[in-house]
Amino acid sequence: MDYNINFQLEKVSSSLRAFSLKLTGNESDANDLYQDTAFRIISNADKYQPNTNFKAWAVTIMRNIFINNYRKKIRRGTILDQTPNNYYINSGGQLIENDGETRMAYKELLRMVSALPEDFKRPFWMAYKGYKYDEIAEKLDAPLGTIKSRIFFARRKLQKMYEEAERVRA
């Protein structure tokens, strides 16, 4: 390996690690992305143009690896469960014994969602239907942070409504 590339990589290592964490959202995937990037940088050292911006070159490599990996996951239809203890993946062993109860719960959920203020209802339904936050923000012409908070508060409100309905039933 070229000494200059090694030195340059060490100089930008902390920035690359921070960027990988920002892209992936978790430490494990960030470490994998950083290692893939470092390997690609080292193995393609001959393609680096001396006296150019090494950090920009390295960040571009990392971003491209991240995008390619993301596209592969989408093509495979991989479901990523980010919940503690992989709750959704591990919850498949539970059986629903009475489909009528499920339908009633769904109807009750629909009623509760209908009771939400319009500012919360639309973003919530769009998220429920699978839209990404940035897509919702674009369609509703609202800032991304506003959309995230509206969906968060809609979920919190629905949870309180559900808990209240359960108390009334008990």
| Range 96-169 classified under CATH 1.10.10.10 | yes
Distance CA 65, CA 84 (A): 27
Evaluate whether 8 touches 42 at the Cβ level (below 8 Å): no
Q: Give the model confidence (pLDDT) of 122-170 as tens digits.
A: 999 898 888 898 999 999 999 999 999 999 999 899 888 888 887 887 6
CATH topology of domain 3-76: Rna Polymerase Sigma Factor; Chain: A (1.10.1740)
Q: Give the model confidence (pLDDT) of 52-92 as tens digits.
A: 899 999 999 999 999 988 887 776 665 555 566 555 555 55
Average pLDDT, integer, range 17-45: 91
Could you tell me the residue ranges of all domains in the chain?
Answer: 3-76, 96-169
